[in-house]
Amino acid sequence: MSELVFGGLLIGALVVFVLLGVHIAVALIGIGFAGIWLMREDVEMAMRLLYLSAYNGVADYIFATIPLFVLMGLLVSISNVGKDTFEVAEALLRRVRGGLGVATVAANTVFAAVTGVSIASAAVFTRVAVPEMARHGYRTAFAAGTVAGSSVLGMMIPPSLLMIIYGVLAEQSIGTLFIAGIIPGFMLAAVFVTMIVLMATFAPGMVFDLKRQRDMALQRASGPLLSGAQMAGKLVPIVALVALVLGGLYSGFFTPTEAGGIGAFGALVVALARRSLGQGRFWRVLHETGSVSVTILILLIAASFYSRMLSVAGVPVAISDLVQDAGLGPYGFLLIYVLIVLFLGMILDSSSILLIMTPVAVPIASDLGFNLIQFGVLTVLAVEIGLLTPPFGISVFTVKSTLNDPRVSVEAIFGGTLPYVAAMLFVLLLVAVFPVLSLALT
């Protein structure tokens, strides 16, 4: 059996196991163990490689970034920083056509710079933004779609857990990946804002509930609800955290791990100052931090073992030779790769896609001359789109469960996210064609 056929069977079996409900880490380790055993007919070799993967997979200092950034994001979420950010953006943008939609994107952009978890953004802004937008005459499906669509900014604007996972799997600098995501992340936010304003101006029926005749005149009449001093007071915590984390990373003063520690400490100070950790909430934050971190670390161990199995099987080399012999070229390969990631996004979660595809694709991308930092940004962008595509779209289901409104169906929210999916595909194309967009700051 050729390497390509064997590799295809292994990858296909992995996808089938995941679809059947087998935990992704169990599936990765099981397929990896079976693959090495079948190829080498040596159980002891499979056990040794599993041991090496378990130790080397999480022994590096850089892995401390995961629990630290998760802790920072959860502390920020519980401190109502996201709510304050939205209220300030709402006050500043109420006179803009589609202003509350723009405010949601703006608040999500700032919030993303201190969380790195799309699910946290989706949960926070569903509770804060959707009721406010509905009260001002926006279609609830559009409001929910805006929250789900803009929540993916958390995976592009640093710090980002997906960037960390890709950096570990591809053996690339996490700090450099963080910096590479800044321009594409803010460009994505700018495209979202432009799209909302254009929709509100030229297709108001897609944005507003015209039957209730609640258009933007109501927003313009309302005016800002906060004074300058109140807005400044609400913005100080999140601006300080963004300056602390991104400023330290960009200047080179902090390593990513140190930035995570400093950011978590800063978020703890904010939470204590706002008295947000009483009634057992601090214990719940620590428990959730441990749960999320351990899950990610186990996945990385499993992915490391799976990657070793693919290397032993010669799958990356065989696929690379096939791509080169077929004359597809770098962009032909990139097109096929993005299409596969988009397809997987319809049936798998974002971490699973990275764990399955990165070990296979990165060696091929390197052979074809791609900068692996740019390739990482493209990968995360493509994976982000999967957060919004049916039937799995985890951000959409997060919004649905948090909203808990039987009048708003999952299908309606998916429909509300479609413009954001189109905008993300546009930014993905720009970053692919113009590498400087992801590499200018690195």
Q: Among candidates 251, 250, 248, 229, which has minimal Cα distance to 240?
A: 248
Cα separation, 19 vs 192, whole angstroms: 32
Reply yes or no on whether the pLDDT at 226 is more than 80: no
Residues 6+ apart with CB under 8 A from 197: 96, 97, 98, 102
Of 344, 367, 95, the C-alpha closest to 220 is 95
Shortest CA distance to 247 belongs to which of 9, 49, 239, 302? Answer: 239
Q: What is the pLDDT of residue 225?
A: 62
Which residues in 277-295 are b (16+ Cβ under 10 Å) and which e?
A: beeeebeebeeebeebbee
Provide the token pair at 58: 């999480």
pLDDT digits (tens, 9 = 90+) for 173-205: 888 998 999 999 999 999 999 999 999 889 888
DSSP 204-243: HHHHB-GGGT--HHHHHHH---S-HHHHHHHHHHHHHHHH
Which residue, 180, 178, 134, 128, is CA-closest to 150?
A: 128
What is the per-residue pLDDT for 289?
Answer: 85
Please say whether the beta carbons of 116 and 159 come within 8 A.
Answer: yes
Nearest Cα residue to 15 out of 414, 392, 398, 396:
392
d(CA 46, CA 39): 10
d(CA 311, CA 36): 10
Output the six-digit token pair for 423.
Answer: 């905008």
Q: pLDDT tens digit string along 386-430?
A: 778 877 677 888 888 888 778 888 888 888 899 999 999 999 999
Tell me which amino acid residue 184 is: P
Q: Which of 229-243, 244-258, 300-314, 422-436 is most confident?
A: 422-436
The pLDDT assigned to 123 comes to: 78
Phi and psi at 429, nearest 5°, equal: -65, -45
Cα diameter, the chain: 75
- Return the pLDDT at 82: 79
Q: Where are the alpha helices (DSSP H) in 387-409?
A: 394-403
Contact 235, 86 (CB under 8 A): no
pTM here? 0.81
pLDDT band at 211 (very low <50, low <70, confident <90, very high): low
Question: What percentage of the chain reaches a pLDDT higher than 70?
Answer: 93
pLDDT of residue 213: 47
134-176 pLDDT tens trace: 878 888 889 999 998 888 888 888 888 889 889 988 889 888 9
Cβ atoms < 10 Å from Cβ of 346: 13
